[in-house]
Structure 1
Amino acid sequence: MALEFLKRIFNPDKVSIELEEIQALVLRSRPIPYYGTVALLEIKDATQAKQMLKDLLPLINSAKDWHQNDGSSVFITFTYNGLEKIGVPQDSLDSFPESFKEGMAKRATFLNDVGVNDPKNWEKDFKNKNIHIAAAVIANSVEDWKKKLEEFRTKLDQNKGVELLISQDFGATEEVKNVFGYRDGISNPEIEGSGIDVPEGFDSPLKAGEFVLGYPGEGDITKPYPQPEILGKNGSFMIFRKYQSQVADFNKYLKDNTNSPEEAELLGAKMVGRWKSGAPLILAPEKDDEKIGGDADKNNAFSFKDDEFGKK
């Protein structure tokens, strides 16, 4: 089945946030297909690490052209320990939220990371308290990915202030199926002020403050953000998790709770909200419709207008 992808419409007259101060991947959809590498880094020497950041800046894309998913992008983010290690002043560190300061392991009970998911059972690399930086390279072609990754690695190799702890490649084909077999990569939150021009029939963009610090959110309130402004404004918080998907258990649950393969498919669609083709349940309530699933003008053209409680 051929799949079509909706090109997000950009209108420069609708830009009201500082795109050049925001990292591209905060607003940009993943390209389709995509190829990438994520790396976790430890800061060994703060002075040399600062120099590495200066060297990396030319590789990090701003969100100025977020709507163009061509070429490659580099993304970089810090843990609280990383900001502390590189020498961010204490009064600035104090302005970060407690949940960020504590880190994921200490908040295990809030995140239901108990039992088999307890931090003591995490892979060894992710128990390391010296994960200071997470960086990612992502591109829409093998050639662009390898070229940008080589540039990134060269910058790291030339600097002894940062040590690579772990890296892992990732990617997806044009089909963009998740591990459960469902069409993925269809929807991406649209952000007001980014220049997005939402087609008729789609939901309104989200207020910038829901994702980008320093702007009003849906409640029309600009929440406190890390200081000084040059550090906090236009930033965003990122969650990095590696998890195991229990595909066999999911399929067994569908089979055990239905009376036929058709019923199992419907139950799965109700749990996911889409059929495997990508057709949303609200537009194809009884059976899968590959035409809708592959039609970029339809597979995301729905809202909660006729589904107020989100049951579909």
Structure 2
Amino acid sequence: MKPRKAEFPPVELELGDIQGGIISAYGKMGFPKARYMLFEAGNGADGRAFVEALRPRITTARRWPSSKGLSTGANPQARPDCTLNIAFTFWGLLALNVPTRTLRGMPDEFIDGMAARAPILGDDILDNKPEHWDPVWQPDAPKPHMLVMLNARADERGQPLPALEAMTRFVLQAAEAAGDVRLLEGHRGDDSRWQDLTAIYAPNADGTARPTPTEHFGFVDAIGDPVFEGQYPGGEETLRCIGQGAVDGRGNWRPLATGEFILGWPDEAQEVAGGAMPLDFSRNGSFIAYRKLHQHVDAWDQWIAARARDLAVTWGIDNPAEAEAMLKAKMAGRWPDGVPLSLAPTVADWHAFNQRMTQGSAEWLAAITSFTYLDDTDGAKCPVTAHIRRANTRDMLDPLWDRPPEKRMGSALNNRRRILRRGLPYGGRGRADGEHGIVMLSHCANLFRQFEFVQQQWMNYGLDFNAGNDACPIVGAHAPGARFVIASPGKGKPPFIASGLPQFVSTRGGDYFFAPSMTALRMIGQGMVDPT
């Protein structure tokens, strides 16, 4: 697999106009702690004053010095100890007196809000229903207007640097000084005033601790984030797009179009999507689907242990630990450390893969993303309904997959469904209140075409994978009788049907937000949005 030679000059993004959380996954860049706060503005003038107070401290996408030696470009900035970003719901923009002629250009799903879209998202069944959400997200609670996101660095003991508390005080003082701007409480967890997040830590021998890239089910998370034009400087983008961009039918990779994630830029259809007027209000902004997802860790552990014993008997696996690892890998599409089944379909292959290169090294990280699915159309290596195969179908849905390579379409149908994943875990295993899961922020240019499509069609249905109504085995909505079918791994071994799937992940809140550019933030804060 190789990068495709660029056909056009490289994209130069206006990094100083784009909020940093769009371009950068802070959790993977040395900011393992986060705090998300929701605010309601009682009137437009006070809400705008709050935005104006925060605006000079907003973290943009301007690059800071990299520990990996990446270019910072012409105008580098110092690495902060705590970042600050802001986004708005439709009701928030309305409350801040953004003109209706501007707001009517916003997409329907953003105007509706997440709770109203429950039937599309699978949030109308089981305990996903909004009635089970955290009090702050309940449909009859005050509507959140603004989402303030803080991401902080941590010390060697895994404690957030003092900058997190300092930035929190700054935000709260700005709200108080603005007047009628109220912090919305009702988050389940340690502090109902906000949602605290943290990477999962592992102890070191010397008493210090290190953040790990895992989530509560034990998988290395957020490996396959898409790479798009302008995201990385110089040749770094060309290298990173392998396995994480768009692929043609001949094994060539390229970055995805910027307009799939940031408004005002050409997308994969080579179109600049229409947006709210004036154009500068939409340009360089991005939509966010905020999802608080509770993980049923005990149910996961119990079900995995029981079904792994069945798998061991069915396939003749003598080692119980290997049977558990195999079952988890088949459900996720990757082994717990992130190595994909497509590259290492057996336990022996997995161990051999990790013996060939240092786990976690740059070489290893590049290798575990560089694969496609056309050599595994029947799912013998990686089940066609495994989680990562649903989330990023790569070339699996190529309608011309059986044609010669030069006539194939590669990932063309998948390229328009990608999302940028941000966020961190919350809580921890063993908590008496059961508070543990992930807050996922999905950035995209079109909530309906990207986030909602993947959530509805690929996570909660299996039609595109010839699996009827079978949902994703990990994050899907599992009605009674749900099952997960694993194809035969070879001659003499039957398929394995993992029956009785319980609900492993449940929605606990969320909404749709718009993260404006710095230009648009100035318009909003100064009340100068002019749609004409």
The TM-score normalised by the length of structure 2 is: 0.52
Unaligned runs of 5+ in 1: 1-12
Structure 1 position 296 matched with structure 2 position 366: no
The structure with higher relative contact order (CA 8 Å, sep 6+) is 1
Structure 2 counterpart of 1:10: none
Structure 1 position 43 matched with structure 2 position 41: yes
Does the Cα contact within 8 Å between 1:19 and 1:63 map onto a contact in 2? yes
Amino acid at match of 2:134: E
Structure 1 counterpart of 2:170: 151
Quote the Cα distance in structure 2 between the aligned partners of 1:224 and 1:180: 40
> What are the within-5 Å matches in structure 2 for residues 65-214 of structure 1?
65=63, 70-71=79-80, 72-115=82-125, 116-127=127-138, 128-141=141-154, 142-143=160-161, 144-166=163-185, 167-172=194-199, 173=201, 174-196=211-233, 197-198=236-237, 200=239, 202-203=242-243, 204-214=254-264
SS in 2 for 1:32: coil
Aligned pair count reads 300
Q: How many Å apart are 1:169 and its aligned residue?
A: 1.3
Quote the Cα distance in structure 2 between the aligned partners of 1:210 and 1:168: 28
Structure 1 pair 245/236, CA: closer, same or farther in 2 (3 Å)?
A: same
Structure 1 position 244 matched with structure 2 position 294: yes
Structure 1 pair 223/104, CA: closer, same or farther in 2 (3 Å)?
A: same
Unaligned runs of 5+ in 2: 1-8, 68-78, 155-159, 186-193, 202-210, 244-253, 313-319, 383-532
Structure 1 pair 252/122, CA: closer, same or farther in 2 (3 Å)?
A: same
Quote the Cα distance in structure 2 between the aligned partners of 1:305 and 1:182: 19
Q: Which has the greater radius of gyration?
A: 2
SS in 1 for 2:288: coil
Structure 2 counterpart of 1:58: 56
Aligned pair partner of 2:18 in 22, 25, 50: 22
Amino acid at match of 2:280: I
Structure 1 position 268 matched with structure 2 position 328: yes
Q: How many Å apart are 1:104 and its aligned residue?
A: 0.8
Quote the Cα distance in structure 2 between the aligned partners of 1:52 and 1:200: 41
Structure 1 pair 261/145, CA: closer, same or farther in 2 (3 Å)?
A: same
Quote the Cα distance in structure 1 between the aligned partners of 2:65 and 2:278: 29
SS in 2 for 1:215: coil
Does the Cα contact within 8 Å between 1:292 and 1:299 map onto a contact in 2? no
Quote the Cα distance in structure 2 between the aligned partners of 1:286 and 1:299: 19
Quote the Cα distance in structure 2 between the aligned partners of 1:89 and 1:146: 35
Quote the Cα distance in structure 2 between the aligned partners of 1:63 and 1:210: 17
Tell which deviates more after alignment, 240-249 or 76-85.
240-249
Q: How many Å apart are 1:98 and its aligned residue?
A: 0.5
Does the Cα contact within 8 Å between 1:190 and 1:206 map onto a contact in 2? yes
Structure 2 counterpart of 1:227: 277
CA RMSD of aligned residues (A): 2.5
Q: How many Å apart are 1:106 and its aligned residue?
A: 0.9
Q: Deviations over 1:26-72 (max 9, x none)?
A: 00122335111100111112101111111101110111217859422
Quote the Cα distance in structure 1 between the aligned partners of 2:179 and 2:153: 30
Structure 1 pair 148/16, CA: closer, same or farther in 2 (3 Å)?
A: same
SS in 2 for 1:240: strand
Does the Cα contact within 8 Å between 2:228 and 2:258 map onto a contact in 1? yes
